[in-house]
Amino acid sequence: MAKDKSAMEQRIDNAIYGTPKIKPDEQRKYLGTFRERVCLTISIAELEERDWSFAVAKELERGIGNQVFLNGNLPHSELRNYIKVATEANANFTLKTESEFRTTPDSLAVVVAAKTAVYQSPVDVQKRYSDITKQSPQIHTPKKKHFWKKLFDRKEE
């Protein structure tokens, strides 16, 4: 039996089984992209630990990666800040909802990537932003006063 298949046999195999993927395990891990294109990753465990949207914003500001892949199998409430950051930075974002993208703690929740190879290292958010992790800044938004409080708590002039 011949080792090389004819063009017709390859076409039939592709029609039956689908087009073969290059490095399918790597693409599954990095939410559909290759490792050499990745600038930043946030695992599900890290996502639950704290809000890393500031890190995604910094990566998008650098201008190297402009694509954000999000694990769409997670609740929208966990991804809302990352969608907002990507939209504000005019970056492309994609929600990956296929069943091959798992929601285990070691699976990835957010991947910032480029369209071409960039070979960034390290890509893990805790390693890349370790100085910020040690400082643990409090992201603080001022609370808005309720309308009635504004109305009745006026100082007499």
pLDDT tens, 47-60? 999 999 999 999 99
pLDDT digits (tens, 9 = 90+) for 34-85: 999 999 999 999 999 999 999 999 999 999 999 999 999 999 999 999 999 9
The model carries a pTM of: 0.73
- 3-state SS of the chain: helix, strand, coil percent to 5? 40, 15, 45
pLDDT average, residue stretch 116-136 = 82
Domain ranges of the chain: 21-130
Pick the CATH number of 21-130 from 3.30.390.50, 3.20.20.240, 3.60.15.10, 3.30.1330.30: 3.30.1330.30
**10 Å Cβ neighbour count for 105?**
12
